[in-house]
Amino acid sequence: MKVPIVGTRKIFYGWVIVMASTCVTCTGFGILYSFSVFFKSWIREWASSRAALSAVFSLAFITYGLVSIVMGWLTDRYGPRRVLAAGGVIMAAGAFLTAFCHKMEFLFITWGIMVAIGVGTCYSPTAATVSKWFVHRKGMAMGTIVSGIGLGTLVFSPLSEHLIQSYGWRTAIFVVGLIALTVYVFAALIMRGRPEEMGLEPLRASAGHGHENGSGTTYPGEFVPSMSVSEAIHTRNLWFLFAIHGLWTIGLAVCLSHFVPYATDLGIKTTTAAAMLGSVGAMSILGRLSLGVLTEQWGVRRSIVIILSSQAASMLLPIIGSSPRILWIFVLAFGFGYGGLASIFSLATAEFFGTRSMGSLFGILLLGSTIGGSVGPLLAGSVFDLTGSYRYAFISCVIFMAMGIALAAGVEKTA
């Protein structure tokens, strides 16, 4: 017998799933994006060029994207619990081994592969799982778990910097590994793949709301015919979204991987630079919450055009000036738009293709971001090694985002 959802005073267990998923995305991406905080410590440790060290972050993005596809498929097939538990163990092991690295080459394995595998298990599996628990409030639920990415930057950037300053980078990375293991395993114990496993139904609108009372309001994935992977890959929308995600992520990865070394090169204290990077995460949360609501009114295509345009405009700021005030404006504006865009792609997957193969299809879109995320750090590191400046890297990011805007105009309203 199924437990009624509407009208009960009990907290719907789907929101527990959302909170656990948010903690996982916070931890996974928070650790990944703390790379920028560790950057100069590793440069000093191994006397590496910035391009060579950036290649570690690029490899991490490649690994994360490829693993996301596999983990999305495994989640569709076997459920999220085993996926999360395994991911947490691998990520923690990568962090522990990083703490004992004495050659930079090993960092490609411990951070570029093992830590990245943990990140690959935290996003597409949780997004796919949450999409099965919600019909009504799906946008709010998805926006919440994606906000965990911004929360991770807000928490782990200053935390990592504090640990580095107090105990050294090796102890710092060991501690964040312990945090990853704890959070992932605890979330795996809480997670349930479908509401039917607990005798529940997905959360639906109560009487008087949405489509059920004839208002014509729909929710992403509720009334869209669900496509298989083979059907979706023959649509233009999937590949346009794939390319847009990748072009935007080039600029995102440049900022997240190189911002702290960029800011400290300008004479800004490391603690302040880490706080600025954390502010990107804080503003991204506001962006997800506010722009996520507007996305439901604007629609996916218009939202991408508007928000990506604001991202391109914000990337112009480091080009025209480098004062602390301009950098603060940059991180606040960039973080706000980052949050809005990050919340769109999971909603677009459900809206255009349904939830039948949500994990696999969202993993494909994440592969687009993988390509962009692998190009961005290498681009910035190579440009700096050649010119001694990040200026031309920022200019390139603006161009790539302009290309994404042009593609967004070609996204169709129906897949």
Domain that holds residue 105: 13-205+222-408
- The residue type at 53: L
pLDDT of 144 > 90? The answer is: no
Q: Which of 45-59, 214-228, 349-363 has the lowest mean pLDDT?
A: 214-228
Residue 158 covered by a domain: yes
Q: The whole model's pTM is what? A: 0.78
Exposed e or buried b per residue across 72-97, where buried means at least 16 C-beta atoms within 10 angstroms of its C-beta: bbbbbeebbbebbbbbbbbbbbbbbb
Coil, strand or helix at 233 = coil
Q: Which of 217-226, 333-342, 364-373 has the lowest mean pLDDT?
A: 217-226
Within a domain: 373: yes
**DSSP code for 164:** H
Is 5 contained in some domain?
A: no
State the total domains in the chain.
1
Give percent of the chain with pLDDT exceeding 70: 89
> Residue 240 and residue 411: Cα distance in Å, rounded?
7
Position 132 scores a pLDDT of 81
Is 48 within a domain?
yes
Q: What is the pLDDT of residues 108-127, one digit of tens each?
A: 999 999 999 999 898 778 88
What pLDDT sits at residue 122? 86
- Number of Cβ within 10 Å of residue 190's Cβ equals 16
Cα-based angle 192, 368, 67 (whole degrees, multiple of 5):
45
User: Tokens in use for 279?
Assistant: 């502010």
Residue 2 lies in a domain: no
Q: Which residues pair with 134 in a beta bridge?
A: 203
Paired tokens of 345:
């792609």
In a domain, 7, yes or no: no
The three-point CA angle 131-138-89 to 5° equals 40
The letter for the amino acid at 11 is I
Taking residues 126-147, report their average pLDDT: 78
Residue 410 binned pLDDT confidence (cut-offs 50, 70, 90): confident
Q: Tokens for 45? A: 């440790």
Spatial distance between the Cα atoms of 382 and 387, rounded to a whole number of angstroms: 9
8 assigned to some structural domain: no
What is the secondary structure of 271-287 as a DSSP string?
Answer: HHHHHHHHHHHHHHHHH
Closest CA to 202 of 8, 7, 351, 14: 14
- As given in the structure block, the two tokens for residue 272 are 């302040």
**pLDDT tens digit string along 74-110?**
887 778 888 999 999 999 999 999 999 989 999 999 9
- Contact between 31 and 152 under an 8 Å Cβ cutoff? The reply is yes
The answer on pLDDT for 311 being more than 60 is yes
For residue 322, give the CATH number of its domain: 1.20.1250.20
Q: What is the dihedral of CA 150, 368, 114, 83, to 10 degrees?
A: 80
Asked, for residue 103, whether it belongs to a domain, the answer is yes
Residue 400 has pLDDT above 50, yes or no: yes
The residues facing 252 across adjacent strands are none
pLDDT for 190-249, tens place per residue? 998 778 777 777 777 554 444 433 333 344 444 455 777 778 788 888 888 899 999 999
Average pLDDT score over the chain: 84
More confident residue, 176 or 292: 176
Give 131-198 as a 3 state SS string. Answer: HHHECCCHHHHHHHHHHHHHHHHHHHHHHHHHHHHHHCHHHHHHHHHHHHHHHHHHHHHHCCCCHHHH
Say if residue 363's pLDDT is above 80. no
Whether the per-residue pLDDT at 6 is higher than 50: the answer is no
